[in-house]
Amino acid sequence: MNNRRIAVVLILMSIALTLPCAAQQSRVEKEIRNLEEKMNAVYAANDLPAYFAYYSPDFTQWLPEGRTDLPQYVKSWTEFIKSGGRIESGQVSDMHVQIDPSGDTAVASYLLRVKTRSPKGEVTDEEFQESDVWFKRKGVWKVVHLHYSPAPKKK
């Protein structure tokens, strides 16, 4: 009888300890999904100050052209917009969010369909795979790393 009571107590304790963690992950996942929605909306609106505000100063990224940092990204994207290029539309799908147990690191991976107008007026319609790594520092979420690559063509 004592073994049963101990087993029941242990099971109840493990459930009680995992519930707050699951609730925190759910809350953090909602935060990240909301941030991703807002960040991708200002990206699609070509609002560069609002867009770059989501990135940490120590940000790095992998693009098809290679690895860059925040100053390089700001420079190249600002030049693209100033020369007449722009995002026509951006649609996020297949969002998957992973949260670390401490709740201060998250990875959001998704597909991003982007229509882009080049400075010459040519419009492309492409799909990319994107992963954003978010850190929460001093109570604020920022993207510290991004990986962006063309999605495989659908058959």
28-56 pLDDT tens trace: 999 999 999 999 999 999 999 999 999 99
Please determine, for residue 22, whether its predicted confidence score (pLDDT) is greater than 90.
no
Residue 60 lies in a domain: yes
User: pLDDT at position 14, please?
Assistant: 56
How many domains does the chain divide into? 1
Query: pLDDT tens-digit profile of 119-150?
Result: 999 999 999 999 999 999 999 999 999 999 99
What domain range includes position 93?
2-150
- Which of the residue ranges 3-7, 47-51, 79-83 would you say has the lowest mean pLDDT? 3-7
Sheet holding 123-137, edge to edge: 66-69, 55-63, 140-150, 123-137, 105-117, 86-99
Quick check: pTM over 0.75?
yes
Distances 18 to 95, 128, 138 between C-alpha atoms, Å = 24, 35, 25
Average pLDDT, rounded, for the chain: 91
Which CATH number characterizes residue 67's domain? 3.10.450.50
With tokens 């419009």, the residue in question is 123
Residue 155 lies in a domain: no
Residue 129 lies in a domain: yes
Q: How far apart are the first and last CA of the chain?
A: 62
